[in-house]
A and B are shown apart, each in its own frame.
Chain A
Amino acid sequence: MANTTGGLAAATESRAVAVDGLEPADSLAAFDSFVRLHWARVYRYALASLRDPDAAASVAQDCFWKAYCARAGYRGEASVQTWLMRIAVNLVRDQVRSRRWKFWRREQGLDEQVLNRVMAGYSLVDARLVADEQVKAIWHAAGQLPGRQREVFLLRFVDEMELLEIARVAGLSEGAVKNHLFRAIRNVRRKVGGA
């Protein structure tokens, strides 16, 4: 149980406790280790999708808060990572939807800032220069993908999820995931090839 629940079991011990923020301190401590275990994965997915560090951190926080509030409802049917990523994917979708209206808050150059952060720590020596350029090209191409294609593409290549897991996380059929992934790869390859 401990393996599949990824630290949630300890955090959900006190299921009888109301989840409206009136929880005992020991439950808080258990959830802290759960957050430490999964934060990076949720954050990275949100960062790759939204390309905004602040929005990514906000989505990650919301994700854990929602998970905490809904922890009593977790039945262990899917792995806790799948469950958590499903929450994250839905929150990213909401964020993308609400962003369409917040045109006044769009910041220029944020995409490049995040890319620089992703590329940080890599020395651009001649041997790697071409490869790094390709990573940059893929980053830009992935940013231009339509919503579902981008979602599936990032879950596959950033989170290294299997198709079935992506299907569970994105709420799609396996066939639909294959279809979106195929289209996403084709689009990215076209753009990278032309870059």
Chain B
Amino acid sequence: VNEFREGLTRFGEHMRRVEPVTPSWDSIATMKRRGRRRQRLAVVTGAVLAVLGAAYWTRGRRDAEAEASAERADAVLMEQVSANLSRPVPRALGPLMGRMY
């Protein structure tokens, strides 16, 4: 047990003898401020990209919706046209139709 205790004490002594190089506060503060600035820039860039992405997506969606509604209108119109073309010609117009064809 004593040997183990001595080992623990020696372990602590070894660790405490590690002498790190102490940087100046100025260098730490400069680095941290730069980091903070970079972080802010990253946040702003991210926000701008998100807004642009959202605008692009919204615009694309609106275009797609407009295109779809135009297609629907065309389809309805075509249906109406087809319906009118396939309608039987009234009897009174029969002779006129004969002249046409």
- Chain A interface (Cβ within 8 Å of chain B)? 21, 28, 31-32, 34-36, 39-40, 43-44, 47-48, 56-57, 60-62, 64-65, 68, 117-119, 121-122, 131, 134-135, 137-139, 142, 157-158, 160, 185, 188-189, 192-193
Q: Are B7 and A158 in contact (CB under 8 A)?
A: no
The CA-CA distance from A191 to B14 in the complex, in Å, is: 19
Known interface pairs A39-B20, A122-B14, A135-B14; A157-B28 also in contact (CB < 8 Å): no
Q: Are A28 and B26 in contact (CB under 8 A)?
A: yes
Q: Are B18 and A44 in contact (CB under 8 A)?
A: yes
Q: Are B16 and A158 in contact (CB under 8 A)?
A: yes
The CA-CA distance from A47 to B14 in the complex, in Å, is: 12
Give the nearest-CB partner of A32 in chain B.
B25
Q: Are B12 and A160 in contact (CB under 8 A)?
A: yes
Give the nearest-CB partner of A121 in chain B.
B17
A32 CB, min distance to chain B CBs, angstroms: 4
Q: Are A135 and B11 in contact (CB under 8 A)?
A: yes
A89 CB, min distance to chain B CBs, angstroms: 16
Count the A-B residue pairs with Cβ separation under 8 angstroms: how many?
91
A177 CB, min distance to chain B CBs, angstroms: 16
Majority secondary structure, B binding face: helix
Q: Chain B residues with Cβ under 8 A from A62's Cβ? A: 32
Q: Are B26 and A157 in contact (CB under 8 A)?
A: no
Q: Chain A residues with Cβ under 8 A from B19's Cβ? A: 40
Give the nearest-CB partner of B11 in chain A.
A138
- Chain B interface (Cβ within 8 Å of chain A)? 3-4, 6-12, 14-20, 22-26, 28-29, 31-33, 36
B13 CB, min distance to chain A CBs, angstroms: 9
A36 CB, min distance to chain B CBs, angstroms: 5
A1 CB, min distance to chain B CBs, angstroms: 21
A-B contact pairs, 15 of them (CB 8 A): A21-B33, A31-B25, A35-B22, A40-B18, A40-B20, A40-B22, A47-B18, A61-B31, A65-B28, A118-B14, A121-B17, A134-B3, A134-B10, A135-B10, A137-B7
Q: Are B15 and A131 in contact (CB under 8 A)?
A: no
Q: Chain A residues with Cβ under 8 A from B16's Cβ? A: 44, 158
The CA-CA distance from A54 to B19 in the complex, in Å, is: 15
Known interface pairs A28-B26, A64-B25, A158-B15; A43-B7 also in contact (CB < 8 Å): no
B23 CB, min distance to chain A CBs, angstroms: 7
